[in-house]
Chains A and B, each alone.
Chain A
């Protein structure tokens, strides 16, 4: 029952200080880290997925009221933020490329650009939240909502129907929960990229080892994708009315 064993020469360990002892090759380590990050993104899909499910259920039930509440958001700011995130995904791609080509200063530049764009996004979001706060559209004891349903503005004032404030509050609960959770993930992303920028500046990454950049990039792209869905679902309900 004794196996003929193959002694692992582990030559790579001498060349590559980043190789951890329990992996046989650097490629195995990289593949493991990559799979690990994808699996983590799966958990994030299901985490946000629960909120998308809640949103789907209530939008289906209270479509008119949701349309009314959605019109309280600024399409301009939402679209700008969408553009900002799309640009940040580009800077991430360029950062990974720089790492693959071993260009340290270019890498640091694109990492910083990503952080800046992330902060711009968060800044605009904060502005939107502040506006909601001023208009008493934050759910809770100070919530107050008295707006028309979509398409009612053209009718005579006696026929106009108003949105149900409780259902509008439901919309805003989901709005804050979903965009808040998204913003939290952005903040974590900015923090992550800050660490990466520091290490990149210190020369830690090379064409042989840029796994953290690549995997953090995957995370960032995922957060971008969540926003790609949030924007039309939250901002663009019934806008033609």
Chain B
């Protein structure tokens, strides 16, 4: 394949085309922007992780002896806000989505490259606002900003935190908008909707949620800020306001937001499972429709976060029923991944280990979500560690596992280097073990009645042993996350150069060099094959590098 060559005789790639800080900060290349995001999300992952560490250290003993109560409130709030808004929501779309979507559809870039760069700057500005909030003492509203606590009673930096979330929300909106237009308008000839990789379908569904949902939380936060500044009373019961109105507006976004967090992960898992089973996905149409179904039905269930908050019983019944429906498309996906693997030729490289982890842990997380959708159970376990365990199974056991799997799968393409497979497998196992040790005890704790957001449980010292296990698990998990950071960086300098297609995988991204050249393709591809054409691809997955 003819490729451009730069002065030193090397092949031109998106990495060596231009050097210097300006060429990165003013880039409109979707691949460079993806790496800019990678730096940002990794930084915030450490920040959020640091807060988690302090929370878990406090919970080692029943007494509140590490920090004061107000400080503890700030710790779990900052952990939640940083992790949700600055890590989980952007991570897969802004890093892997940005990098891969144009290539996967055969385009040179996203539809709006400059808006893509703007999205990154909005993310950075939001991040700076959040960093300021932290340095100025943090916020203790809980990540959910519930009123009237956030509007009337707290002296902490609620408005700057709200502003940080507001600005980063626009980053999310513009990314979603960009993806939708790109997928509709920039597909190469022959790349029909039914030939799109499921990774692209998943990001399409995610983008719909970002565009429809984020503005509602934006206005909710604006109203909180206005109320705080001008004492408007929209959410203040003393002035006739209803705190639940804030919750309705907040959760209208924040429930679909959890699907923003999981759908891209599901897209990654589809790619990995097909490659490492050497098989076309089972039920392509169902898989594509399922991600759309999750996106749509996900908008109909938000008040299941409010069952005990004071909504009417009839509304609770409606939302409980709707919440059961949303499990159906998710379950379809789990069954179809399993059916894809059946009679496949399975190998267990690192990405596949993460994909297996995702499927199992997401299933547990999703099922416990159904427990919570049942009103009777929810009354018992709401606001306990059961809920905390449920959502961490999905967000950490699901999303982060998928992210790690995706990073390993596409690392050769992104960096042009191979990561060390032994260390990859080892880290994946450590993550899996550490994860379960951290969060499984929390299901039990929650069922036993330990409330969340409590800094002191000395009235119930029987909770301690499970808390100690959980904290121990967290340290193991931390090791499992640090290792890839180390060996990915190591591989950039010392790793073996990666071939175009180290996994013998299907998909346009594997038909161009690793790393890609700036404009992705020398000539516009014309697609004449179906997705996941593993029946046509010769060869097995190469054995561990």
**Chain A interfacial positions (CB closer than 8 Å to B):** 1-8, 21-24, 28, 31-32, 35-36, 39-40, 42-44, 46-51, 53-54, 57-58, 61-62, 139-141, 164, 166-167, 169-170, 173-174, 177
Contacts and interface: CB of A to CB of B under 8 A. Distances in A.
Interface in B211-265: 211-216, 218-220, 223, 226, 230-234, 238-242, 245, 248-249, 252
B233 A169 contact: yes
Contacts of B234: 54, 58, 170, 173-174, 177
A43 B210 CA distance: 9
Interface string B95-118: 000000000000111111101000
Given A36-B111, A39-B211, A28 B185 contact: yes
Contacts of A32: 111-112, 181, 185-186
B545 interface: no
B173 A43 contact: yes
Contacts of B189: 6
Contacts of A1: 511, 536-537
Nearest to B508: A3
B108 A21 contact: yes
19 contacts: A3-B511, A5-B523, A5-B525, A7-B523, A22-B108, A22-B110, A22-B113, A28-B186, A32-B111, A32-B112, A32-B186, A36-B181, A43-B173, A47-B216, A47-B218, A50-B216, A62-B240, A139-B231, A140-B230
Contacts of A35: 180-181, 184-185
Given A47-B219, A51-B219, A57-B242, A140 B231 contact: yes
B211 A43 contact: yes
Contacts of B252: 50
A40 B178 CA distance: 10
A5 B524 contact: yes
Contact of B241 (A3, A43, A141, A170): A170
Given A24-B524, A50-B215, A140-B230, 6 more contacts: A2-B1, A22-B110, A44-B215, A49-B215, A54-B249, A58-B240
A147 to B, nearest CB: 16
Interface string B500-530: 0000000000010000000101111111100
Contacts of A5: 521-526
A53 B226 contact: no
A211 B239 CA distance: 48
B215 A139 contact: no
Contacts of B511: 1-3
Given A32-B111, A35-B181, A6 B526 contact: yes
Contacts of B213: 46
Contacts of B238: 166
Nearest to A20: B113
Given A4-B526, A54-B234, A141-B231, A170 B111 contact: no
Nearest to A52: B219
A4 B525 CA distance: 7
Nearest to A36: B181
Contacts of A24: 524
A118 to B, nearest CB: 23
A43 B537 CA distance: 42
B374 interface: no
**Lowest 6 A-B CB distances belong to which pairs?**
A50-B219, A47-B215, A5-B523, A173-B232, A46-B215, A22-B109
B177 interface: yes
B249 A8 contact: no
Nearest to B240: A166
A55 B212 CA distance: 20
A43 B248 contact: no
B233 A173 contact: yes
A53 B249 contact: yes
A139 B233 contact: yes
Contacts of A61: 240, 242
A42 B209 CA distance: 11
Contacts of B219: 47-51
B357 to A, nearest CB: 31
A139 B234 CA distance: 11
Contacts of B107: 22
Contacts of A36: 111-112, 115, 177-178, 181
A51 B185 CA distance: 33
A50 B234 CA distance: 13
Contacts of A40: 177
Contact of B245 (A21, A28, A48, A54): A54
B537 A139 contact: no
A200 to B, nearest CB: 21
Q: Which of B186, B234, B252, B521 has the most CB of A within 10 A?
A: B234
B212 A3 contact: no
A235 B121 CA distance: 40
Nearest to B182: A32
A15 to B, nearest CB: 19
Contacts of B523: 5-8
Contacts of A139: 230-233
Contacts of B111: 32, 36
A47 B221 CA distance: 11
Nearest to B523: A5
Contacts of B240: 58, 61-62, 164, 166-167, 169-170
B43 to A, nearest CB: 27
Contacts of A23: 186
